[in-house]
Amino acid sequence: MKVVAGGLNGLYLEEINTNSKKETVWVKAAIAYASGHPKLFEDCWKNSIPLTFYGRFDSSAPVTTNILKTFLDRKSPNFVCKLVPDIFHAKVIWWGGYGVYIGSANLTDNGWVGNIEAGTFFSQEEIVENGLDLELTDFFEQVDSLAHSLTKEIYDQICELELREFTANKGRQTERDDFNKKRLIPKLNPLQAISPRNSIDRRKNKFLKEWRDTLQILRDIADRVSDPSNQPVWLPVETPKGVQADQFLHAYYYNHVLEGQKARHHEFYLKNSANPERALQEIISWWRTTTSAPSWEDQNIANSKTVKINLSKKRIDGLTENDFLDVCKHVHALTDHCKRVKNSTYGLPANFSTDSTERIKLLSKYLWKQKTAQGRSVIQVLSYVLYGGKPEGVPERIWEAMASEGYKISHLGISSLGEIVGWTLPDMFPPRNGRTSKALKALGYNVEIYSE
């Protein structure tokens, strides 16, 4: 975590924004006031980074018309402006995949440079480690539920207000009263307090609904790709159908969705969301004609057996540290996440250099030593998730491992848990990690892509 205080400590929002470009996959900005030509907006547009901006709407025109016009003129589903009436005063910028700023700065020249502002910046690693991804997702969903999409009519009304403000200095209250009588977005009254317990329950229910809905999508795909008429010739015949679904989506992602280092799942979603069935049929047709594994799928299928054996019910409780390392090496979400864990997490100097082989060893050793707030080890947590009740209760136990202090292990996130469950219990729960969700999104399915 860093304190962002501009001229007081030398760390400016512009520097964070500039450094974010290579890792950011989308931006969500909830900023009450915006004026001028915010660099955040222009950088998103120039670098083809999807942006959703939430600004304030009231009789003071908190978001200036030149900014509103830019959103209307570009007519892009990747460049969206929504307005929240009256009680909106947030200042949050979430660079998806890079980090989040929460503070006092508006999207104005003074807010980014001139004023004394104060805020905090959390890196992507810190977001995941502290469970902020769930909190931030919930925050933006709540804001979105209160927001109104910018339209030409709303823009015209604000233009009229700005003109009247400019040409007349008298009767300001009368002008605003008149505006409020005719306003196109109804006035929003202050929100009533929601108890923390209700908020947690709501987030849990939302997660479980989305997870189970996506689980059914994966099961449907598993049934289709495991049909003998859709299986490629190189696929081992004994491969569980849940694993087949995962590797089908793996191949689709790496051979169709990923372009260099850029994942184009948002772009593909816009194209395929109107007809996911057509997109799915096209990729199944491609998949069944492959004569060899397009991108290491045969190796992944072999590796999945290692996880399944080590985490089987009869072996998991007696797992050694070396066995656990063997599991970590074969869980893609962990091998991907280990690249983003800071050296300081392991007590190493910032300039200490390690390759991917060493980094997964470091992460495995770190996880092995961790304890939950109630003293549970990582093996006890995994045993609970996999076998701590009825099989159909696995999604609820995944939630507990993410959100409950009694079961939460730092750096063991949702993608890793979803993949581990899928490799171990593939007949019931096809594997799901971040890459799986991106592949489904690209096919046109409206699924959640969880951070890790």
438: pLDDT strictly greater than 90? yes
353 — pLDDT class (breaks 50, 70, 90): confident
In order of 85, 97, 231, 335, 452, the CA distances from 438 in angstroms are: 33, 13, 22, 17, 13
CA distances from 74 to 71, 81, 260 (A): 6, 11, 27
Q: Report the C-alpha gap between 217 and 440 in whole angstroms.
A: 9
For residue 192, what pLDDT is reported?
A: 56
**Mean pLDDT score, 137-161:** 90
pLDDT in the model for residue 110: 83
Domain residue ranges of the chain, discontinuous segments joined by +: 2-192, 197-443
Confidence of residue 153 (pLDDT cuts 50, 70, 90): confident
Average pLDDT over residues 75-81: 87
Kindly tell me if the per-residue pLDDT of 394 is higher than 90: yes
What mean pLDDT is predicted for residues 433-444? 94
Q: What is the pLDDT of residue 76?
A: 85
Kindly state the tokens that stand for 4.
């962002």
Residue 149 burial (C-beta neighbours within 10 Å; 0-12, 13-18, 19+): exposed
**Which tokens in the block code for residue 341?**
């864990």
Q: Is the dihedral of CA 430, 369, 384, 126 positive or negative?
A: negative
The CATH code that applies to domain 2-192 is 3.30.870.10
Give the whole-number percent of the chain exceeding pLDDT 90.
Answer: 67
State the average pLDDT for the chain: 90
The CB-side HSE value for 107 (13 A sphere, CA atoms) comes to 28
Q: How far apart are CA 408 and CA 398, in angstroms?
A: 10
177-213 pLDDT, tens digit each: 788 888 888 877 765 555 656 777 888 888 898 999 9
Q: Is the confidence at residue 164, as pLDDT, over 90? A: no
Q: What is the pLDDT of residues 80-95, one digit of tens each?
A: 999 999 999 999 999 9
Confidence bin at 260 (pLDDT 50/70/90)? confident
Instruction: Tell me how far the alpha carbon of residue 80 is from its chain's centroid.
Output: 18
> What pTM, to 2 d.p., does this model score?
0.74
Confidence of residue 170 (pLDDT cuts 50, 70, 90): low
Is residue 399 pLDDT above 90, yes or no?
Answer: yes
CA distance 2 to 398: 30
